[in-house]
Amino acid sequence: MEKRNYSRMQRIVVKVGSSSLTYNTGKLNICQIEALVRQLADLHNRGLDVLLVTSGAVGAGMGKLGFKERPRTIPEKQAAAAVGQGLLLHMYEKLFAEYGLVVGQVLLTREDFADRRRFLNARHTLQTMLNMHIIPVINENDTVAVDEIKLGDNDNLAAMVAALVDADLLILLSDVDGLYDDKPGTPGARVIREIHEINGEIEALAGGVGSAVGTGGMATKIQAARIAMHSGLVTVIARAAEPDVIRRLVSGEPLGTAFWPSVKLVNKKRWIAFSATVCGRIYIDEGAVRALREKGKSLLPSGVVKVEGDFEMGNTVSVMDLTGKEIARGIVNYAAPEIERIKGKQTSEIAMVLGYKDYDEVIHRDNLALE
């Protein structure tokens, strides 16, 4: 198979999973971590920007606390993470320091992405760290995250970080070689080397591969790859234990499964599509669907059929067709009660119905990200 051309890629995000950093006992796999650090340090010395998204805080805490299996409750996971995060960062600091490199810990939750101001603050912080030649070591803030604000796994976190910093390449290291065309271990099953579109067939192949010490599986990696593809960057899923896997991948060796990018969304639309909290739904008719998809129009009140949720002006909502399929996400110019009153009306009728008219559009096309 031909080599992949990554020669123009300057900024790389590498995510490594719990199963690749810890043994089944929950204790840290020092050899694996040392190999990872050595490869990242070498990329940094080549002049590339490197960001590491690491799992393993809960796993490291499990080993220290003597847990035999992954904690089941959120408080227990938080306690394990509180202990494990310090252990994990200390390990990274020590190993990177052997190569004369400085690391900085960044802990994130979904709220840091969902709020536009915090999103931009995180972007500026990471950019400044890279400018100062600091290697960001990023993890979800498991000590405070609960189900409502968790990103869910570090695959999605890595993809959102990669989009946040305009990375060129996202490498998801795991305990599998890539996405297989059949269940791994099945006779004749092979790794799919190149994917240009994530469709229902690809999603079905993802299944639920995971491990006892990790939260993610292949399904979450497919979700992450979708975010990355729409953000204009390449994603590769590969086995962490493969010798010199990062160096070989960056040099173009066709390891793992590569997901090639689709149309790149601009930064604001990326945030709308993947980071912002969805606060409600707006259902639109077929004419409005065509106007958004085929003509690049804004959403006007005349195309709105139904409103769900109690959202305010400036919130992000899902835009649904009449079958209930999400076709877009966007930032609304009016609150839910106002849209309920003007739905189906012409733009010229807004002022008459509401007594004022701040905008012609329910959602302006500049604030709309199509699926």
On average, the pLDDT of the chain sits at 85
Asked whether the predicted pLDDT for residue 149 surpasses 50, the reply is no
220 annotated ligand-binding residue: yes
306 within a domain of the structure (yes/no): yes
pTM (two decimals): 0.77
221 annotated ligand-binding residue: yes
Residue 307 structural domain: 277-370
121 within a domain of the structure (yes/no): yes
- CATH for 331: 2.30.130.10
215 annotated ligand-binding residue: yes
Of 52, 37, 49, 51, nearest in space to 11 by CA? 49
6 within a domain of the structure (yes/no): no
- Do 75 and 148 lie in one domain? The reply is yes
174 annotated ligand-binding residue: yes
Per the CB < 8 A criterion, the answer to whether 233 and 226 are in contact is no
1 within a domain of the structure (yes/no): no
200 annotated ligand-binding residue: no
| Interacting residues of 259 by C-beta distance below 8 A, sequence separation 6+ | 195, 196, 198, 225, 228, 229, 234, 235, 236, 237
- Do 149 and 201 lie in one domain? The reply is yes
Domain count, the chain: 2
The 10s digit of each residue's pLDDT in 88-124 is 899 999 999 999 999 999 988 877 887 778 888 898 9
142 annotated ligand-binding residue: yes
Asked whether the predicted pLDDT for residue 152 surpasses 60, the reply is no
252 annotated ligand-binding residue: no
Compare 4 and 349 and report the one with higher pLDDT.
349
The 10s digit of each residue's pLDDT in 250-272 is 999 999 999 998 766 666 677 77
318 annotated ligand-binding residue: no
188 annotated ligand-binding residue: no
Angle, vertex CA 92, rays to CA 89 and CA 98, nearest 5? 140
Last residue of a domain, one of 234, 269, 304: 269
- Do 112 and 249 lie in one domain? The reply is yes
| Interacting residues of 6 by C-beta distance below 8 A, sequence separation 6+ | 168, 169, 234, 249, 250, 251, 252
Last residue of a domain, one of 240, 269, 298: 269
Section 281-291 average pLDDT: 94
141 annotated ligand-binding residue: no
55 annotated ligand-binding residue: yes
Last residue of a domain, one of 235, 269, 303: 269
